[in-house]
Copies of this chain bind each other. A is one copy, B any other.
């Protein structure tokens, strides 16, 4: 946040300086006018690059965006999705059952349904497919 303020301050100062320069320019010759414009173009070009780099850095975790629409399309319920997340974390059925305060039987049912919906034969395959379908973060 502090950097953003600094960058925008520098931008405004640069603009003011360039305005001054442009004002002087048409009192002298034509070449400096084009130089001014060129400078502005170059400066803002790199400013654009800089700003974008900062923005994309914070977008990185958004690369791990989950496609909620696809979850619906596959008919995966909230509870089933919770189980899927735990599976991808490497938990056993018993551990998931304890985490969700239900019986292992229930988890087995959820897992079985998940495998059908994800068209997988194993939970490891379910993890891979779920990540490919963007319904699980990488």
Interface residues of chain A, those whose CB is within 8 Å of chain B, are: 15, 18-19, 22-23, 26, 30, 33-34, 36-37, 40-53, 56, 87-92, 120-129, 131, 138
Q: List 6 A-B contacts (CB under 8 A).
A: A40-B41, A49-B51, A88-B128, A92-B121, A92-B122, A124-B127
By the criterion CB–CB under 8 Å, are B90 and A122 in contact? Answer: yes
By the criterion CB–CB under 8 Å, are A128 and B48 in contact? Answer: no
Query: Chain B nearest CB: distance from A118 CB in Å?
Result: 10
By the criterion CB–CB under 8 Å, are B128 and A89 in contact? Answer: yes
Specify which of B34, B44, B90 is in contact with A41 (CB 8 Å cutoff).
B44
Could you say which residues of chain B place their CB within 8 Å of the CB of A123? Answer: 124
By the criterion CB–CB under 8 Å, are B56 and A48 in contact? Answer: no
Specify which of B50, B90, B121 is in contact with A120 (CB 8 Å cutoff).
B90
